[in-house]
Amino acid sequence: MDFTLNKEQLMIKKMAREFAEQSLAPVADLIEEENRVPEEIIAGLAELDLFGLAMPEEYGGANAGYDSYVLAMEQIARVSCGPAMIISAHSLGLGAIANFGTAEQKARYMPAACQGKHIASFAFTEPGTGSDPKQITSTAVKEGNHYVINGTKRFISNGTYPGPLVLFAKDAESGRPTAFIVEKFCEGYSVSKPWEKLGWHGGDLVDIYLQNVKVPLANVLGEIGNGYPILQYGIAFGKIGMNSLALGTTLAAFEEAVKYAREKTHRGQPIAKFPSIQLKIAEIAMKYEASRWMAYRLGVLANKPRSYQEFAQEAALSKVIIAENAMQAARLALDVHGSYGLMADYKVSRLYRDAAMGPQIEGVIDMQKIIVAGDILNP
């Protein structure tokens, strides 16, 4: 398979990198400290079409494909994971509408979201659930021409931004999870204050409270009682964004380690002269290259997946490799910095915390290994 980038892909990568360096880098420390992405950064990302990069052109997207999406996200996450996390969660919710929504639903919710005027969310997790949809306690009861939804959703990205929320609740008719499109900040919708996360500052995670929220029948996404396939889609395709964040972190770890090794001196010479430092730099470089091709390949496969099952297995496999590589690369970069790497003044300390997020988000690592093993042992 030839991964040579075409002119459009090179342009998108260059555009994202320039924005990250010129606009995002100057406020990266502010994002880290305040756990908030400035409105001008959101507007800049929207202007570059990053909120609809992989979405269909007919609904306001750029139709550039998931391969280009990975290229852009890598460059954004290389500088700051918070904005990349916002785009990733947004693309997850918006992608579910694009793939399972009716023509009317797409026309209503996608254009504003593709333009970044609205930011989408995806809500499955609850205080008492992990990866098991049978544990969902949120309920949806049909009353006339709408459903009444009650429940609490936990660790939801973008819950504080207006826009569509793809939400899963157990409907009273089927007794199984059903997907609904809820308009955030409708009557009965409220959120907690953002959780204080270890890393990925700027991308908010909140609990969402739904108290007698009325959702029109027309906002059922897919079929009643058939929310699980939509959830599976979300879990698999959500890994494209998560992989991109981990890849960007790995690239940043490599660059920071190289920069420090060249600048830090010992007895008048850069520490890059030491074989132990050279070995660490080489190992980070190898982890980045392995992760890069895995992430790019998944982006290509996402454009035209041969089957959902095959893509889910590929997504799980790539998630394990890329997330674990990011953790190891950040640790090696920290080792290159020595005691200085423990100081908040150095970017590598942030990278180490950011890298720790990947293995726990959009499916924990052990669950992904079970998915891979299940596909191998039970074809």
Residues known to be catalytic? 362
Residues found in the chain? 379
Residue 47 is encoded by which pair of tokens?
Answer: 């202007």
Do 336 and 260 meet the contact criterion of CB atoms below 8 Å apart? yes
Per the listing, tokens 């406020």 go with 27
Picking from 311, 243, 280, the residue whose alpha carbon sits closest to that of residue 77 is 243
Q: What is the DSSP letter of 332?
A: H
Helix or strand run (H / E) with residue 333: helix 308-337
Do 290 and 339 meet the contact criterion of CB atoms below 8 Å apart? no
**Max Cα distance, the chain (Å):** 80
- CA 42 to chain CA centroid, nearest Å: 16
Q: Are strands 139-143 and 164-171 parallel, antiparallel or unpaired?
A: parallel
Do 101 and 181 meet the contact criterion of CB atoms below 8 Å apart? yes
Encoded amino acid at 12, one letter: I
Name residue 121's beta-bridge partners: 165
* Phi–psi pair at 256, nearest 5 degrees: -70, -40
How far from 133 is each of 70, 93, 302, 320, CA to CA, in Å?
29, 17, 24, 22
Picking from 204, 208, 211, the residue whose alpha carbon sits closest to that of residue 165 is 208
Angle (nearest 5°) at CA 111 between 105 and 117 = 120
Cα torsion 250, 256, 259, 263: sign: negative
- CA 315 to chain CA centroid, nearest Å: 13
